[in-house]
Structure 1
Amino acid sequence: MSAVTPDEDIFYTLGLLHSSRPHQSDVYDKLNSEILECCAKADMDIKQYLPHYKSKEDWMKHFGRKWDTFQEMKTKFDPRMILSPAQRIFTSVMDYGDM
């Protein structure tokens, strides 16, 4: 598992844990989106826990200047790119249709 921390001497962790019934989840998805939009507009450097990025570029932005190190570790410890294929950051030797 790899985690990213901000390039700051001091940073804060905030966890928003919502409880809802299945049919209410869209309310919290919308709220989370609004919070992320607010942070983006305020130019806050934030990192999401378990983000749902859809592109390699999003992941590169998430890891920032640490991307090269992350990529080196992935190549060193998972040369066949078979671990954590669901994030679709790297090309895997297995086809995603096999999942």
Structure 2
Amino acid sequence: MLLEEFSVQHEEYTVFPFDPEDFLVEFSSAPVAETILHAHHPAEAPFQLIWKRWRRQSMASFASLRYRVLIEFCEIPAHARNVSTATVILNTSCSDPRLY
């Protein structure tokens, strides 16, 4: 279809399977990709392709990351080395700061 309808040669794109059911098509140049993205597809085509720009978030999911990480704070005075200082510095990036 890319060759017949849009005159895009085979060496101008690469097709990758993209789970669960899609394909990722990588074009060799931005102008070719823009042409395909904004083209009107013929009604008599045997099938319809829906073109969308790929986004890193397209298959993303939200989940809490539960890892314990050791962080060393430098140049903090001895009297300020406590859990409350770590909580202020890390803000919402840490749920359970502990001193070791």
TM-score normalised according to structure 2 size: 0.24
Query: Which protein has greater RCO, CA pairs closer than 8 Å, 6+ apart?
Result: 1
Which has the greater radius of gyration? 2
Greater share of residues in strand: 2
